[in-house]
Amino acid sequence: MYKIVSKISLNPTVTKMVVEAPLVAKKAKPGQFIIFRATEDGERVPLTIADYDREKGTVTIIYQIVGASTMALDALNEGEYICDFVGPLGTATHIEGLKKVAVVGGGVGCAIAFPIAKALHEQGTIVHSIVGFRNKDLVILEDDFAAVSDKLVMMTDDGSHGEKGLVTNALEKLINDGENYDEVITIGPVIMMKFVCATTKKYNVKTIVSMNPIMIDGTGMCGGCRLTVGGETKFACVDGPDFDGHLVDFDEAMHRGSMYKDFEAHAREATCNLLNK
């Protein structure tokens, strides 16, 4: 059992939770993830590690309340316990030797992008962060990104906060203004990452994406997280979650990600009814 040390709502649908998990905190690195079960009969769900404190033995997760399992997790409060919290899993993001990087985050994916931006900053890399949201009410981690970025560009679809437009607009402008990046690291909705990669491919800028497909065991045994990368089958839980974005078959990934939408909607409705009793 893993104690919830703190729980903070970042916006109406996104929550930040700090969990007591000393063995996970001891080994965690940016880009890795955990798999949790909120309750003993709950499903296994992956969440990227948003931060960690080795001295306190805590791991921070940030999640969007979208389905049955995240609703069940969000029903737990500070001082209560998560049934399972397994990790760190996956391969850490490779950042060694990078001199200048653009970190591009979208929506709740910014929770995954932040620890990478932080690690880059701590090793002395020049970090330009571009983060985008639908509107100002959904903005998260702005101050956190500002603290670790040499340049921060905030984007909203409707222009209610920062600049109006998409993260691809801001990224392309920076490249056209003469910014030369060793690498672009982008994390967010699959469709966003697809178009970020389409943008960087025009300029031959290496681009890393973090893929989070359906995942069950986190060890490569179930095959649920398979992706096609460069014409080969890869497993996000062990080969990733980071991949060369110019090689990922995003259309296949989006199709696979939508296969269980009806089931997820039914599970969400059932959980909502249960929690509201």
Chain segment 178-232, per-residue pLDDT in tens = 999 999 999 999 999 999 999 999 999 999 999 887 777 777 777 777 888 899 9
Band (12; pLDDT cuts 50, 70, 90) = confident
Task: Look at residue 269 in the predicted model and tell me its pLDDT.
Answer: 58
Task: Look at residue 247 in the predicted model and tell me its pLDDT.
Answer: 94
> For 99-200, CATH number?
3.40.50.80
Chain segment 24-43, per-residue pLDDT in tens = 999 999 989 999 999 988 88
Mean pLDDT of 95-123: 94
**What distance in Å separates the CA atoms of residue 26 and residue 56, rounded to the nearest whole number?**
10
Domains 2-89 and 99-200 share a fold: no
Task: Look at residue 262 in the predicted model and tell me its pLDDT.
Answer: 58
Domain range annotation of the chain: 2-89, 99-200
Mean pLDDT of 244-249: 93
Task: Look at residue 66 in the predicted model and tell me its pLDDT.
Answer: 85
CATH class of 2-89: mainly beta
Model-level pTM?
0.85
Within the chain, strands assigned E span 2-11, 14-20, 33-37, 45-53, 58-64, 81-82, 84-89, 100-106, 126-133, 151-156, 163-164, 183-187, 207-210, 226-229, 232-235, 242-244
